Structure 1
C-alpha cells in the first residue's frame, strides 16, 4: 500500500507533507505526493516549483521513504482527483492539510478538505500547520 498526500506549496501543504512523511516511515510504505493543477490553467500557484520538489525529494530520501511525485493536471474538483488517485493506488491513508476557515466561509465557499473527509473510503489524516 501507499501513503497519499495532497500537496500545495503552502504552510498547510508543508504540514501535510511532514505528517505524511512520518506516516510513510512508520508504516514502511512509499509516499505519493499529489500536486495537481487544474487542467487548462495557464499558471497555477498550487503547483510546486522544481526547487520545492527537489527539497521534498531530498527530505524523503533522508527519511528513507520512497517518494513519487505526480503533477499531472486534473479536471473538476481537486477533492475528486485526490479520491480518484487514492482508489487507483489503493492508498492506505490520505494525508491533507487544513486551514482555518470561519463557518460562514465554509458555507459560502465549500471545502475540498471537507469533501475528502466526508467522501473518502479509507482513513484520512488531516493536519494543521
Structure 2
C-alpha cells in the first residue's frame, strides 16, 4: 500500500513539473540548438535529395545521415557556428571545406561535419591594434 502512495505522489509531482519544463524550453531561444545545416545528396535512384541536421552543440562530430552511401555534394550552413566539413564519416582526416555561418559550398564529397564556435575562427588579430590609434 505504501508503494502505491509513493508512486501516486511521484506521478502527481511529475505532472506538475512537466508543463512548466515545456514552457521554459519554449521561452529559451537556445532550445533549438545551433541552427540548421542543409545538404544535398543523390539517393540510390540517382535523385537529388535534401537532408538536414540540427546540431545541439559545438565541438561535436555529426554524420550527414543520408549521405553515408552517397556523399553530400552541396552544403549550406544556417547555423551560428563554423561548420568544418569532412569527407570521412567520423570527422577524421583533413577537412574538405570550412563554412562560416550563412556560407554555402558545392562540388563536395561530404559525410560528416564538426561545429566550432564562430568567435574562434575570426583569424589572427593584432593585439597592438588599439595602441596604434
Q: TM-score range by the shorter chain?
A: under 0.3
Q: Considering fraction of residues, name the structure with more helix.
A: 1
Larger RCO, structures 1/2 (Cα 8 Å, 6+ apart)? 1
Q: Which has the higher strand share?
A: 2
Higher Rg of the two aligned structures: 2
